Amino acid sequence: MECFVAAGRSEIGNGRKLNEDSIELVEAFDGTYGIYILCDGMGGHKRGDLASELAVRYARRSILDKLNPTMEARELRALMYQALSNANQMVYQFAQRSFRFTGMGTTIVAGLLRDDGLLVYGHAGDSRLHGFTPQIERLTKDHSVAQAFIDQGLLREEDVATFPRRNEITRCIGMGPDMTPTIDVRSLEPGDRLLFCSDGLHGVCPDAVIQNVMDASQDPQENSEALIQTALDFHSRDNISCIVVNFHGNDA
């Protein structure tokens, strides 16, 4: 059995004419590493779809250009930071080429998983990474106005859906020439699972619902398809994207 198995899906959803989300799943060094990237583009006619595509492309390239099997955790953490910073610079510079692209941007959440269970992940914006051990745990904190209000005790988590500024983010790829992503590290145990998702999913489906969908199957492909359908059933009006990863361990 492979040490990790992953599947992902991106869906235009019920309320959009264009899918501005992009996802990427890559294995490197004969399955030593899994690389997972999810971006939720913003800007509509300013080409959020292009922003997310560029961010995925440059983040992936930055990781693969420098990645090697002997890197230590601190080196992998620095690599993830540089990859997201490079993606930001490329999207921002591209946006400066024409007024048609000015203001385009994208969220990003990316993970680099090694076969010994080391997970290095980074994000900017409100796309999220959840862990399941087996209970759901949110591993990222949104860079958003809503999260800032929650942190200040001015907003309850259960009231975010009706918060007028719920779609405003405070950090993203392409927002400016310099952007500081949040980078973190943790260790996975065999049987742990991961879910990368855009707000088209987590913005409409409560954690308990996501947990139930994940519990219904141990197949990442079935999970990703069921999560998309569940978001549609919850009348998500946004693009919906997710990546599900099962970690089995390198002794599997």
| Residue-wise pLDDT tens digits, 16-50 | 888 999 999 999 999 999 999 999 998 655 688 99
- For strands 4-11 and 240-247, give the pairing: antiparallel
Q: What is the pLDDT at residue 140?
A: 98
Report the alpha-carbon distance of residue 124 to residue 88 in Å, rounded. 10
Six-digit token pair at 193? Answer: 């699972």
Average pLDDT, the chain: 93
pLDDT the model gives residue 33: 97
Of 80, 106, 84, nearest to 95 by C-alpha is 106
d(CA 179, CA 183): 12
H helices of the chain, in order, are 48-66, 73-95, 145-151, 199-202, 207-215, 220-233
Taking only the tens place, the pLDDT of each residue in 175-188 is 889 999 999 999 99
Q: What is the mean pLDDT of residues 141-164?
A: 91
Considering the entire predicted model, what is its pTM? 0.95
Judge residue 235's burial from the number of C-beta atoms within 10 Å of its C-beta, 0-12 exposed, 13-18 middle, 19 or more buried.
exposed
User: What share of the chain in percent tops pLDDT 70?
Assistant: 97
**Averaged pLDDT, 149-174:** 90
Give all strands of the β-sheet with 240-247 in edge-to-edge order: 4-11, 240-247, 193-197, 128-132, 136-138
Structure tokens at 152: 């200040």
Instruction: For strands 136-138 and 128-132, give the pairing.
Output: antiparallel
- Mean pLDDT over residues 182-195, rounded? 97
* pLDDT score recorded for residue 46: 66
Q: Could you tell me if residue 103 is left (phi over 0), alpha (psi between -120 and 50 degrees) or otherwise beta?
A: left
For 96-146, the pLDDT digits (tens) are 887 777 888 999 999 999 999 999 999 999 999 999 999 999 999 999 999
48 or 228: which leads in pLDDT: 228
* pLDDT score of 158: 85
Cα(70)–Cα(173) distance, integer angstroms: 29
What was the pLDDT predicted at 36? 98
How distant, in Å, are the alpha carbons of 93, 94, 173 from that of 243?
Answer: 28, 27, 20
Q: Check residue 16 and give its pLDDT.
A: 80
Quick check: bond before 206 cis, omega within 30? no
> How many whole angstroms separate alpha carbon 49 and alpha carbon 29?
30
Question: What CA–CA distance (Å, rounded) separates 139 from 149?
Answer: 19
Contact of 83 with 121, CB cutoff 8 Å? no
- Dist. CA 16–CA 142, nearest whole Å: 23
